[in-house]
Amino acid sequence: AQKITQTQPGMFVQEKEAVTLDCTYDTSDQSYGLFWYKQPSSGEMIFLIYQGSYDEQNATEGRYSLNFQKARKSANLVISASQLGDSAMYFCAMREGQGTPLVFGKGTRLSVIA
């Protein structure tokens, strides 16, 4: 079974609007971390935001926030006030316990329209 599921292969959003990228995860561990990365067309992987399983508050980093719903095992990325430079692939990833590598979802391609 997939550990990370991103159900939206592609999305469009109007510039200056907010957009939510979905991510659900599967784990039996109590201790885990959830990450979002951005991959622009240039190809580099850029870390955006992190949420720990024990964090009670949703993580925020500038225009990025993570809508963490532990009981539903979802960790959606919210981008507020979209900009043209936000057009990219976005990957959700999870790390379970100590000593395990990141496992990625298949990604969502976001296109921001002027």
Return residues touching other proteins (CB under 8 A): 6, 9, 31-33, 35, 37, 43-45, 47, 50, 52, 91, 93, 95, 97-99, 101-107
Distance CA 95, CA 99 (A): 9
Residue whose CB is less far from other proteins, 78 or 103 = 103
**Maximal CA-CA distance, the chain:** 43
Q: Which is nearer to other proteins, 33 or 77 (CB)?
A: 33
Determine the residue type at 37.
Y
Give least dist CB 80 to other proteins, A: 22
Enumerate the β-bridge partners of residue 33.
52, 95
User: Min. distance of Cβ 1 from other proteins in angstroms?
Assistant: 13
Residue 14 Cβ vs other proteins, minimum distance, rounded to whole Å = 26
45 versus 84: smaller Cβ distance to other proteins: 45
CB neighbour burial string for 23-36, b if at least 16 within 10 angstroms, e if fewer: bbbebeeeebbbbb
Q: What are phi and psi of 84, to 5 degrees?
A: -55, -35
CB closer to other proteins out of 82 and 108: 108
